[in-house]
Amino acid sequence: MKWIAGGVTAAQGFEAGGVRAGIKPTLTKLDLALIYSPLPCAAAAVYTTNLVKGAPITVTQKNLSDGRAQAVIVNSGNANTCNPDGIEKAERMCQIAAEQLGIAPSDVIVASTGVIGQALPMAPIEAAAGALKASLSHEGSALAAQAIMTTDTVPKEAAVQLELGGKTVTIGGISKGCGMIHPNMATMLCFVTTDCAITSALLDRAIHRAADETFNMISVDGDTSTNDTFAVLANGAAGNPEIAAEGEAFEAFNQALTALCRALARKMAGDGEGATKLLVCKVTGAADRETARTVAKSVICSSLVKAAMFGEDANCGRVLCAVGYAGCPVDVEKIDVAYESENGTILVCKDGCGLAFDEELAAQVLHAKEITVLVELHSGAAQAEAYGCDLTYDYVKINGDYRT
C-alpha cells in the first residue's frame, strides 16, 4: 500500500466538482458538491446513531437498498433536518443530480450538513445545477472537499493504492467535520471512491469494520450529529478479480480502506473547532480489545484531559480519573501514563501513582501540535487508539454564534 495525491477523483473513472450556490450567507465559500462515476457502482454506507436523523439519511438509505449508486450530491450550510418538507427536498436534490447526469434518482446518494431546524432553500440548488455539472472533472476532488465544509478550517482529502490480483487499485476520499464530533460515527460526512471490483455485500462489511476502527474512535466535544454519513462507491474500473468472499484480497482491501479512514479521522480530530492540538490516546496492555477501546475513548473524551492539553499541563490525575470512570475492570495499581510528542516522552505515572518529573521537559513535550497519551494497563496484549483535540476558548466562541 502506498499513499498518493488526490481524494475522491484519485480512483479511475470518478469525477467531482463543487460550486457556490448561495446556501450559505457568505459570498465566497463553496456549498454544493457532486461526485460521479459513469460506470455503475457497488455502494454502501454507515450512518449516525442519533435517533434524530437528517432527511437525506432516510432518502439515501432507501436509494442504497439495492447496493448500487453512481453519484453523490451534497450541500453544506443547512442540514435539512427537523423540517416537515425535508424528505421532499432531499428527494428533489437526487432528481436534480440525476437530471444533470442522465441517471436514475435512485442511483444518487444525498447528504446535507449545517444548521439544524431551518428549511433548506431549494432555489439556489436548482439555479446552480448546470454549473455544478460543469464543474465535474477528474481533478475536482479539492472543489468537492471545500464545498462540504462547515466550520472546518481546511479541506480533508486522502488516497492510497494497493495491488490486488495483479491490478493497481486506488481508494480515495474526502471528509468534513470538526464540531459535534463524538464516537459512534462522529459528526461527519465522508465520501470514499474506489476502482476496486467488489460486491456491495463485501463493501458493506468492509466499511463497517473501517468505521469501527477509525471514525468511531474520534471525539471533539461529545455531541453525536444528526447527519453523519460515510458512503463508499466502487466502480470496478481497476479490473481486478471481483472480491466476492472474505479472504486475502478482502483483507488487503479492508486494511487499505481502514488506513485511509484513519488518515481522514486524524485530520478531522486535529481540525476540531478551536483546536490547537491533535490528541491521540494509545492504550496498551489491556485484557481485551473492548477494554482498550473503551479506555482510549474515555480519555480522549475527558474535558479535563482536553483542557489540560490546551494548557500544556502534564497532569496524570486527569488521565487516571478518565480511566477509572470508563467502566472497565482494570487494575488501577498497574496503570502507567506517559505523554509523547515529537519533542520527547515523559513518564508521569507508574503503577497507578504519580511521579516527580522534569516540568521543563514536560512543557516541551506538550508544546507540540500532536500529543500522544500513552496508557499501559499491564493486564494483557490488547491495544487501541482514539483521536481527539484540546479544548480551547475558541470552541465556545465558535458554537456560541454558530447560526450567525
- Ramachandran bin of 47, using left for φ above 0, alpha for ψ from -120 to 50, beta for the remaining angles: beta
Taking every pair of Cα atoms in the chain, the longest distance, rounded to a whole number of angstroms, is 68
pLDDT band at 151 (very low <50, low <70, confident <90, very high): confident
Task: Output the domain CATH number for residue 304.
Answer: 3.10.20.340
Cell numbers at 119, concatenated: 428549511
Q: Do 315 and 369 share a structural domain?
A: yes
Q: What integer pLDDT is reported at residue 386 of this predicted model?
A: 93
**Catalytic residue from among 187, 226, 284, 372:** 187
Task: Output the domain CATH number for residue 109.
Answer: 3.60.70.12
Residue at a domain's end among 231, 247, 270: 270
Measured in whole angstroms, the distance separating CA 96 from the mean position of its chain's CA atoms is 26
Percentage of the chain with pLDDT > 90?
Answer: 75
Q: Do 122 and 17 share a structural domain?
A: yes
Residue at a domain's end among 249, 270, 291: 270
Q: Do 242 and 297 share a structural domain?
A: no
Q: Do 231 and 307 share a structural domain?
A: no
Q: Do 67 and 30 share a structural domain?
A: yes
Q: What integer pLDDT is reported at residue 114 of this predicted model?
A: 87
Q: Is the pLDDT of residue 132 over 80?
A: yes
In angstroms, the CA 27 to CA 282 distance is 42
Give Cβ neighbours of residue 209 (< 8 Å, ≥ 6 apart): 254, 258
Cell numbers at 27, concatenated: 459570498
Q: Is the pLDDT of residue 274 over 70?
A: no
pLDDT band at 180 (very low <50, low <70, confident <90, very high): very low
Enumerate helices (H) and strands (E) in the chain, giving the number of each: 11, 15
| DSSP letter assigned to residue 216 | G
State which H helix or E strand residue 378 sits in.
Answer: none
Measured in whole angstroms, the distance separating CA 360 from the mean position of its chain's CA atoms is 35
Q: Poorest-confidence range of 29-38, 86-95, 272-281?
A: 272-281
Q: Do 245 and 222 share a structural domain?
A: yes
Cell numbers at 61, concatenated: 438509505
Q: Is 48 a catalytic residue?
A: no
- Its domain, for residue 200, covers 2-270
Q: Do 334 and 218 share a structural domain?
A: no
pLDDT tens by residue, 338-397? 999 999 999 999 999 999 999 999 999 999 999 999 999 999 999 999 998 888 776 666
Helices (H), 83-199: 86-101, 123-134, 141-147
Q: What integer pLDDT is reported at residue 14 of this predicted model?
A: 98
What are the C-alpha distances in Å from 82 to residues 21, 52, 93, 228, 400?
22, 8, 17, 15, 21
Q: What integer pLDDT is reported at residue 183 of this predicted model?
A: 42
In angstroms, the CA 284 to CA 214 distance is 17
Cα torsion 117, 119, 120, 124: sign: negative
Tally of domains in the chain: 2
Q: What integer pLDDT is reported at residue 21 of this predicted model?
A: 97
DSSP 3-state of 103? coil
Cell numbers at 193, concatenated: 471512491
DSSP 3-state of 5? coil
Q: Do 176 and 230 share a structural domain?
A: yes
DSSP one-letter string for 305-351: HHHHHHTT---HHHHHHHHHTS-----GGG-EEEEEETTEEEEEEET
In angstroms, the CA 389 to CA 236 distance is 37
Mean pLDDT of 248-276: 88
Q: Do 332 and 214 share a structural domain?
A: no
Q: Do 177 and 74 share a structural domain?
A: yes
Among 307, 340, 302, CA closest to 322: 302
pLDDT band at 398 (very low <50, low <70, confident <90, very high): low
Q: Is the pLDDT of residue 179 over 90?
A: no
Q: Do 50 and 23 share a structural domain?
A: yes
pLDDT tens by residue, 303-342? 899 989 998 999 999 999 999 999 999 999 999 999 999 9
Q: Is the pLDDT of residue 159 over 50?
A: yes
Mean pLDDT of 19-32: 90
Among 198, 201, 204, CA closest to 237: 198
Residue at a domain's end among 240, 270, 300: 270
Q: What integer pLDDT is reported at residue 188 of this predicted model?
A: 79
pLDDT tens by residue, 197-256? 999 999 999 999 999 889 888 875 555 567 789 999 999 999 999 999 999 999 999 999
Q: What integer pLDDT is reported at residue 217 of this predicted model?
A: 87
In angstroms, the CA 125 to CA 137 distance is 19
Q: Do 304 and 205 share a structural domain?
A: no
Q: What integer pLDDT is reported at residue 51 of this predicted model?
A: 81
